[in-house]
């Protein structure tokens, strides 16, 4: 297998395009970076905005040195379980139907840490979840996961003994409503939908088709737009992580707001969203939540500030049409469509309409297909002569991968 031993050290990083040196003994991954593992035969991704001192891979392990203020985020799209050796740090792991994530953040009381991440050959399971459900855990020694049907708490003690308990979640409030919804296929239709907002922190309410309800999205938006971090973490049922906030503010958020001239309050609000997410966006990583805000900015020429604007951000994250439209963004998308497909977009065709909508507003797919995205990136490079870098570039990649439009 290629790159059996993938070694990252500070001296060599100046030659790597995806990693930038921030300061002595501090390396920030500016983009997602793939590590090629041997046993199991899989890839592990170091997510953008990870900050470490050094990182070395072996056949089935990753050795990491990280200082206080650093952050390591690993993702296995093969859903292989990853575990970190004993370390004075907060460890968060999450299992979804699409990936397994491991995040390590040294505690402020520690001077830093050196540890080994082991990649097992066992894939994670989302107990009691429907397709698209997820489970997550937070803290160095315990974890919890919830779906619409159950809550699973997993606790591991210092001897390595694991105990799992499944309980029934709190009930949700319900009433019936009718909604006109924009779909990722760009078809607009009237749909009878159950009006719900989940009463369980971190668990979104969904309709009969499995989509997060519009009421849940609106509730999420109101919490984020308040600018009150206590409201945001309450919706997620997590503790505040000031270290992660600082790291994301310096990296992901700094890139999103660059040149926008925003107030400290707007920056803080975006940081809250990127760091903690909301029930309707928790399946996205911090980097992708930042990407959704970036897509909103690219589409509307501004960053979200009001509850309505944040509602559009969360709609975009869930593959729904935003309530706003922008003729300039749609015109730009149609130009890109012609470059990609060598013809004008037929807006009466659902696939063409979907491609234009995704490129204009950055709608995210409900279910990611990584092989389709890899193929779409190759197509983008062949068409435009360079790799995707900007928000609009990545929106075009998603359109190629998911819209179904053809030449």
Q: Give 366-387 pLDDT, tens digit per residue.
A: 777 888 888 999 999 999 999 9
Last residue of some domain: 152, 167, 182?
A: 167
Q: pLDDT at position 17, please?
A: 36
Q: Are residues 13 and 59 in the same domain?
A: yes
Model confidence at 330, pLDDT cuts 50, 70, 90, reads very high
Overall average pLDDT of the 123-131 stretch = 60
Last residue of a domain, one of 114, 146, 167: 167
Q: What mean pLDDT comes out for the span 381-394?
A: 91
Model-level pTM?
0.56
pLDDT for residue 108: 60
Least confident span in 103-117, 157-171, 287-301, 325-339: 157-171
Shared domain check, 111 and 69: yes
Which pLDDT band, with edges at 50, 70 and 90, does 111 fall under? low
147, 127: one domain: yes
C-alpha 153/C-alpha 165 separation (Å) is: 5
Number of domains in the chain: 3
- Structural domain contains residue 150: yes
* The pLDDT of residue 167: 31
- In percent, the amount of the chain with pLDDT more than 70 equals 74
Cβ neighbours around 232 below 10 Å, total: 23
Same domain? For 146 and 248 the reply is no
The last residue of a domain, from among 167, 198, 213: 167
User: 289 and 389: one domain?
Assistant: no
Q: Could you tell me which residue, 368 or 110, shows the higher pLDDT?
A: 368
Residue 219, domain extent = 173-317
Per-residue model confidence (pLDDT) at position 194? 46
Residue 195, pLDDT score: 57
Tell me: do 284 and 302 sit in the same domain.
yes
Nearest CA to 377 out of 364, 394, 358, 363 is that of 394
Backbone angles phi, psi at 114, to 5 degrees: -120, 130
Same domain, 14 and 163: yes
How many residues are given for the chain? 407
2 within domain boundaries = no
Judge if 23 and 161 occupy the same domain.
yes
- Same domain assignment for residues 149 and 189: no
pLDDT reading at 196 higher than 80:
yes
What number is the average pLDDT over the span 203-231?
92
Residues 39 and 163 reside in one and the same domain = yes
Residue 234 in any domain: the answer is yes
Residues 117 and 244 in one domain: no
- 80 and 212 fall within a common domain: no
346 within some domain: yes
How many angstroms separate the CA atoms of 157 and 74, rounded?
A: 23
Residue 323 has pLDDT above 70, yes or no: yes
322 within domain boundaries: no
In a domain, 118, yes or no: yes
Strand spans (E) along 70-161: 72-76, 80-84, 89-96, 100-106, 112-123, 134-137, 142-146, 151-156
User: How large is the average pLDDT for residues 346-368?
Assistant: 91
Domain assignment of residue 128, yes or no: yes
- Is 52 contained in some domain? yes
Question: Cβ of 59: how many Cβ atoms within 10 Å?
Answer: 13
């Amino acid at each position: 297998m290629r790159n059996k031993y993938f070694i990252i050290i500070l001296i060599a990083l100046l030659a790597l395009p995806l990693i930038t040196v921030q300061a002595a003994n501090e390396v920030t991954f500016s983009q997602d970076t793939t590590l090629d593992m041997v046993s199991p035969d899989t890839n592990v991704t170091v997510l953008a905005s990870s900050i470490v001192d050094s990182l070395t891979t072996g056949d089935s392990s990753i050795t990491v040195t990280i200082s206080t203020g650093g952050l390591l985020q690993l993702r296995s799209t093969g859903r292989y379980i990853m575990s970190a050796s004993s370390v004075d740090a907060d460890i968060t792991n999450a299992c979804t139907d699409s990936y397994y994530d491991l995040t390590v953040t040294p505690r402020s009381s520690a001077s830093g840490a050196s540890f080994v991440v082991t990649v097992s050959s066992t894939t994670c399971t989302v107990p009691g979840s429907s397709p698209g459900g997820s489970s997550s855990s937070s803290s160095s020694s315990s974890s919890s996961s919830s779906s619409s049907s159950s809550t699973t708490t997993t606790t591991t003690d210092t001897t390595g003994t694991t105990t799992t308990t499944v309980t029934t979640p709190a009930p949700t409030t319900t009433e019936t409503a009718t909604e006109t919804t924009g779909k990722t296929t760009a078809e607009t239709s009237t749909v009878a939908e159950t009006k719900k907002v989940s009463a369980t922190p971190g668990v979104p309410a969904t309709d009969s088709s499995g989509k997060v309800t519009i009421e849940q999205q609106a509730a999420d938006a109101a919490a984020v737009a308040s600018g009150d971090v206590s409201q945001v973490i309450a919706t997620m049922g997590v503790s505040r992580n000031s270290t992660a906030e600082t790291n994301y503010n310096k990296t992901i958020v700094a890139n999103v707001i660059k040149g926008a001239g925003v107030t400290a309050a707007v920056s803080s609000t975006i940081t809250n969203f990127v760091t903690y997410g909301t029930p309707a966006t928790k399946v996205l990583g911090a980097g992708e939540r930042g990407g959704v805000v970036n897509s909103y900015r690219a589409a509307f020429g501004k960053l979200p500030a009001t509850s309505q604007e944040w509602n559009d951000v969360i709609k975009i994250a869930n593959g729904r049409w935003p309530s706003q439209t922008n003729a300039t963004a749609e015109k730009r998308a149609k130009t890109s469509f012609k470059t990609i497909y060598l013809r004008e977009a037929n807006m009466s065709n659902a696939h063409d309409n979907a491609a234009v909508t995704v490129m204009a507003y950055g709608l995210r797919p409900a279910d990611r297909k990584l092989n389709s995205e890899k193929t779409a990136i190759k197509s983008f490079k062949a068409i435009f002569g360079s790799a995707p870098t900007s928000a609009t570039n990545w929106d075009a990649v998603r359109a190629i991968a998911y819209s179904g439009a053809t030449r």
